[in-house]
Amino acid sequence: MTGKKLVLAAIALALVQIGFLSWIVAGRAAVLRDGREVLLKVEPVDPRDLLRGDYVVLNYEISAVPVSIVSNAPVGEFTSQDGPIFVRLGKDEDGYWRARSATLGAPAGIPAEGEVDIRGEVRPGWSSGPDGTYNVSYGINRYYVPEGEGSEIETNMRDRPFSILAAVGPDGQAQIKALMDGETRLYAEPLY
């Protein structure tokens, strides 16, 4: 490879990699900026599993979706299959958003005023009989905290209600906006 070509290749490579990373950042920032805000109740998980390294593991009230509200749940299957699910959320009196209905695969029409569709992945292998619940992951199960601050949150989370303020993009992708300790914002996420 001649000298000029190698330098040009290096510049092009650096720009492609930086461009790719910036594209991810831009996409995530767009969800934070423009997405619909929903307040989700966080449920304490088994404290031994709560903190791994420097992030807090979050489990949501809406992580458990009853099979009975899933309109197109397959009949006669005993375990859940891996795949996308769209859960329609509505705001309750107490300010938290909860699952109203859900569909597997694709969202069912346009959500009504005051409702929003959030996209998740059904975890496979869970009981999915008529009384069962789907375990759904929304890709927002971790909250990264500065080194050493996780255990305090972990302790407090067992004492009083915590919640996550999330932004939901037009395609249903959720993004964490802030971790709330009751009414106070513990950490608010800047766009960048």
Contacts (Cβ under 8 Å, ≥6 apart) of 162:
42, 153, 156, 179, 180, 181, 182
| Residue 124 in the binding site for another protein (CB under 8 A) | yes
| Residue 127 in the binding site for another protein (CB under 8 A) | no
Instruction: Choose the binding region for another protein from 37-45, 62-70, 71-79, 143-151 (rule: CB under 8 A).
Output: 143-151
Can you list the positions of beta strands (E) in the chain? 36-43, 51-52, 55-57, 59-60, 64-66, 83-91, 97-104, 115-122, 133-137, 142-144, 162-168, 174-181, 184-188
Q: Nearer Cβ to another protein, position 111 or 138?
A: 138
Rg (CA), the chain: 20
**Cα gap 169→175, rounded to integer Å:** 8
Instruction: Choose the binding region for another protein from 22-30, 63-71, 87-95, 106-114 (rule: CB under 8 A).
Output: 22-30
Q: Are strands 83-91 and 115-122 parallel, antiparallel or unpaired?
A: antiparallel
Instruction: Choose the binding region for another protein from 20-28, 40-48, 94-102, 127-135 (rule: CB under 8 A).
Output: 20-28
| Residue 188 in the binding site for another protein (CB under 8 A) | no
| Residue 14 in the binding site for another protein (CB under 8 A) | yes
For residue 89, the tally of other CB atoms under 10 A from its CB is 26
Q: Which of 12, 106, 112, 188 binds another protein (CB under 8 A)?
A: 12
Instruction: Choose the binding region for another protein from 42-50, 68-76, 112-120, 136-144 (rule: CB under 8 A).
Output: 136-144
The CB-of-26 to another protein minimum distance in angstroms stands at 11
The CB-of-3 to another protein minimum distance in angstroms stands at 5
Q: Which of residues 54-113 bind another protein (CB under 8 A)?
A: 54-55, 82
Whether the Cβ atoms of residue 97 and residue 89 lie closer than 8 Å to each other: yes
DSSP per-residue string spanning 144-160: E-STT-HHHHHHHHHHS
The CB-of-27 to another protein minimum distance in angstroms stands at 9
Nearest 5°: the CA angle 59, 169, 172 is 60
Interface residues with another protein (CB under 8 A) are 1, 3, 6-7, 9-18, 20-21, 24-25, 28, 32, 53-55, 82, 123-124, 137, 139-147, 175-176, 189-190, 192
